Amino acid sequence: MTVQLDRKEIERLLAQEEYKPIERLDKSTLDAEEKAQVREVEQVVSFGQEIIELFDWFLESQDTLPTQKQYVNAGINKMLAWFATNKPEIEVTTVMVEACKLRLTRTYMSKVIELHFEACLRESMPHLKIISHPLIDSVMGVDIVAEDNVKRYYIHITSNTPMARKMLREKESRGGLRVGNAFIKYTRDFEGDLMLMYDIHEESETTKIINGYPLFRPDFIEWRLNLASSSSTAGELLSVPYSKLDHFIDWAKHQLKQDIQLSEGAF
């Protein structure tokens, strides 16, 4: 990704009325049959590479941050096309469409938080090298990879809620990528990774909230990375003979027949 929005520009955009999060499906109002329809959507591991890369595509094509409404409107068509191609026997109901929108709003929120996090990281800790590739998130299950001159940090970003913490623990066992009708397994390893959690209901020492978007405070990010740099259990030494990134690159070469080229210093 070549577009680089700074922290203040991201915050300025998010504060505008058009960026306010759209209304989401309230699952507590659904009956048993409707909840089963929602599960049909939630159980899909991946809706394909176009959805994975949609947020980045918007950034590149518009040279700015898309609104959540723009992102959801574009994504819903791709998700419905996925159902038509991969599960034509399923009749997509109105509730399932709303569940697709719900999933897209969560993805958009995560992408915005990660984008802001990386901007803070780049500005507050310019000595760190940020490593990027679209498959790092979807295959490795890692949101951000950063290096100093000694260690590499695999960073996971999630909300500070019981459900999110549970999902993060389960995420380690769900590595892989769906290619057509085949699911290619990938063995994830979260040992030594950094888990950073933001608060969603109110501002805190870690989090500030702008127009409904919880964003990490730059001073917290700097403190957390400095703590990791001095910890013997956090991060991965650059000197290890076979790193997690090496494993990822080898997997892509042998399983996907792709030569992964990791970009550095940009996102």
pLDDT at 11: 97
Nearest alpha-carbon partner for 200 in 98, 103, 110: 110
- Contact (CB, 8 A) for 248 and 260: yes
Give me the mean pLDDT over the 99-117 stretch: 94
Decide if pLDDT at 267 tops 50. Answer: no
Give me the mean pLDDT over the 100-113 stretch: 94
Strands 263-264 and 129-132 turn out to be antiparallel
pLDDT at 3: 57
Residue 233 CB neighbour total at 10 angstroms: 7
pLDDT tens for 10-47 read 999 999 999 999 988 888 898 899 999 999 898 887 78
- Contact (CB, 8 A) for 152 and 166: no
Residues 6+ apart with CB under 8 A from 136: 142, 145, 248
pLDDT tens for 200-252 read 989 999 999 999 999 999 999 999 999 999 999 999 999 999 999 999 999 99
Q: What percent of the chain stands above pLDDT 90?
A: 66
Give me the mean pLDDT over the 66-72 stretch: 96
pLDDT at 182: 80
What distance in Å separates the CA atoms of residue 208 and residue 73, rounded to the nearest whole number? 27
Nearest alpha-carbon partner for 207 in 190, 224, 227: 224
What distance in Å separates the CA atoms of residue 263 and residue 243, rounded to the nearest whole number? 17
SS3 (DSSP) at 129: strand
Give me the mean pLDDT over the 50-77 stretch: 92
Q: Residue type for 146, please?
A: A
Give kind and range of the element (H or E) at residue 78: helix 68-86
pLDDT at 110: 92
pLDDT at 48: 79
Decide if pLDDT at 264 tops 80. Answer: no
